[in-house]
């Protein structure tokens, strides 16, 4: 990214060669020619224009995930930037709380392969409320984009060829889809910020880790080995009211956790591994921290972190059923994606209960809106559901009630499964804020 002047970033999408697996070359599709793209440093209330120029050979659409963004800049899947030099100025007013966001491609039917090949990056929104807290910062604040990939011998990304000859999953040709693609594509190499199984040298102090699951389909249950706790300070949509301690964190595609880990709890010289207890073999390890030396630490995690927006009484309840249809395609309320046909028309400034149900793991993501998880199968949600979010893993045969607030802008937005293969197979719907 070239931060050409305050308020304007230039982000050119280019193909580039990178060394991801040592000794091999991977061609990536990168924002700014890198994978991941540059981390955008943004500020609440400081409107920015991100000028995207597409020098790739494929169309793109860029979405700021977690952004409260006017509809024309939200990355609608058919609002394409043409290959070979097309350009679009995305307008991000950033009238929203400090939070860990990310941006990625959202092209109709091709989001999964294009994100897999590199079109994703992180974006941090900061604000005065957060700046006033004594949290770790600078080198002790680590944005960690976690994703899995598969590679060919020569280092190129391995991604299954589109099923059924064409990629539009709208036609019901899903019989041709092999099981792996149907459930979402996973890789056997875990990357953090684009590097396989990296090692970070840390001091024996607190660190703020901004965890993002940018995988197409892989879920993680993160733990620290040989032991230790995550102190969660924020969720998808900003700081929690108060910190919450966790031994492990389930994180599905699209979700973020903002946590503090205190490395003074480990002996100097020891290694602390971030592991995924849902996986076996090499994919079990995510990354490693090596506690190099003692250092002064004047940070703290205050008992009161912020005043998140409160609950508003819902004006209605709507149901969205994420399920394989009778024709065998991933659908919402029985329909594969129909662009321009909104399934709901919530009113600006109101809140609604959205009842999300599912047959499989579907990480459900809502654009524009932020929501609180109210209940899972009628029971109070567990600690990892705390705080305002934009993505929630709806598990097999679960019914998840969320309280969604529609603030910001009127217009056309989307909700979809963030398993990107499911999204490309049309598990997506429009809604219109009126
Ligand atoms: Cu992160 Cu509509 O997606
Ligand atoms: Cu989004
Ligand atoms: Cu899904």
Q: What is the pLDDT of residues 160-177, one digit of tens each?
A: 976 554 444 444 334 445
Residue with tokens 């941090």: 124
Query: Whose C-alpha lies nearest to ligand 1, atom 3?
Result: 65
Ligand 1 atom nearest to 367, measured from its CA = 2
Q: In this structure, are residues 211 and 243 in contact, taking their beta carbons and an 8 Å threshold?
A: no
Indicate the CATH number for domain 2-130: 2.60.40.420
On the question of pLDDT at 76 being above 80, the answer is yes
* 256 CB near ligand 1 (under 6 Å): no
**What is the distance, to the nearest Å, from the Cα of residue 166 to the centroid of all Cα atoms in its chain?**
27
The highest-level CATH class for domain 317-433 is mainly beta
Over range 261-290, report the average pLDDT.
97
* 243 CB near ligand 1 (under 6 Å): no
* 414 CB near ligand 1 (under 6 Å): yes
Q: In this structure, are residues 259 and 232 in contact, taking their beta carbons and an 8 Å threshold?
A: yes
The highest-level CATH class for domain 138-150+185-293 is mainly beta
Residue 222 and residue 288: Cα distance in Å, rounded?
12
As annotated, the residues of the chain forming the CATH 2.60.40.420 domain(s) are 2-130, 138-150+185-293, 317-433
* 422 CB near ligand 1 (under 6 Å): no
Helix or strand or coil: residue 141? strand
At residue 4, the pLDDT reads 63
At residue 174, the pLDDT reads 43
At residue 168, the pLDDT reads 46
Distance 293 CA to ligand 2 centre (A): 40
Residue 155 and residue 73: Cα distance in Å, rounded?
34
The enclosing H or E element of 100 equals: strand 99-105
With pLDDT > 70 as the criterion, what percentage of the chain qualifies? 95
On the question of pLDDT at 337 being above 50, the answer is yes
Residue 329 and residue 430: Cα distance in Å, rounded?
18
Residue 414 and residue 76: Cα distance in Å, rounded?
8
* Interacting residues of 280 by C-beta distance below 8 A, sequence separation 6+: none
Residue 61 and residue 77: Cα distance in Å, rounded?
6
- Strand ranges, E, within 163-237: 189-192, 195-196, 199-203, 206-213, 220-225, 230-235
At residue 327, the pLDDT reads 87
* 376 CB near ligand 1 (under 6 Å): no
On the question of pLDDT at 117 being above 70, the answer is yes
On the question of pLDDT at 139 being above 60, the answer is yes
**What is the distance, to the nearest Å, from the Cα of residue 110 to the centroid of all Cα atoms in its chain?**
17
């Amino acid at each position: 990214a070239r931060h050409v002047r305050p308020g304007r970033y230039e982000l050119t999408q280019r193909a580039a060669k990178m060394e991801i697996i040592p000794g091999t070359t991977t061609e990536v599709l990168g924002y700014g020619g890198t994978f991941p793209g540059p981390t955008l440093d943004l500020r609440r209330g400081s409107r920015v224009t991100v000028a995207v120029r597409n020098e790739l050979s494929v169309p793109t659409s860029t979405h700021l995930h977690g952004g409260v963004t006017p509809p024309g800049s939200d990355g609608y899947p058919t609002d394409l930037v043409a290959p070979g030099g097309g350009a679009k100025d995305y307008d991000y007013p950033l009238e929203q709380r400090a939070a860990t966001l990310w941006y990625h491609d959202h092209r109709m039917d091709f989001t999964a392969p294009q994100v897999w090949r590199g079109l994703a990056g992180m974006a941090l929104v900061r604000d005065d409320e957060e700046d006033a807290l004594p949290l770790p910062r600078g080198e002790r604040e680590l944005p960690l984009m976690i994703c899995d990939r598969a590679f060919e011998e020569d280092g190129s990304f391995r991604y299954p060829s589109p099923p059924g000859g064409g990629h539009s999953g709208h036609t019901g040709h899903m019989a041709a889809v092999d099981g792996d693609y149907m459930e979402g594509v996973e890789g056997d190499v875990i990357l953090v910020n684009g590097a396989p199984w990296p090692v970070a040298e840390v001091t024996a102090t607190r660190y703020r880790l901004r965890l993002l699951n940018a995988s197409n389909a892989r879920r993680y249950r993160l733990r620290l080995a040989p032991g230790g706790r995550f102190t969660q300070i924020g969720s998808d949509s900003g700081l929690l009211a108060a910190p919450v301690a966790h031994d492990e964190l389930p994180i599905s595609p699209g979700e973020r956790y903002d946590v503090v880990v205190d490395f003074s709890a480990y002996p100097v010289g020891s290694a602390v591994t971030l592991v995924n207890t849902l996986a076996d073999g090499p994919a079990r390890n995510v990354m490693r921290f090596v506690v190099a030396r003692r250092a002064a630490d004047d940070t703290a995690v205050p008992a009161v972190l912020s005043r998140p927006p409160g609950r508003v009484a819902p004006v209605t309840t709507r149901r969205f059923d994420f399920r394989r249809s009778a024709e065998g395609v991933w659908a919402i309320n029985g329909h594969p994606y129909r662009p321009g046909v909104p399934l709901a028309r919530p009113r600006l400034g109101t809140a609604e209960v959205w009842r999300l149900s599912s047959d499989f793991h579907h990480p459900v993501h809502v654009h524009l809106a932020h929501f609180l998880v109210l209940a899972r199968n009628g029971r109070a949600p567990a600690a990892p559901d705390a705080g305002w979010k934009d993505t929630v893993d709806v598990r097999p045969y679960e019914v998840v009630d969320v309280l969604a607030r529609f603030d910001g802008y009127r217009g056309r937005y989307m909700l979809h499964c963030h398993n990107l293969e499911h999204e490309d197979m049309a598990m997506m719907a429009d809604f219109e804020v009126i």
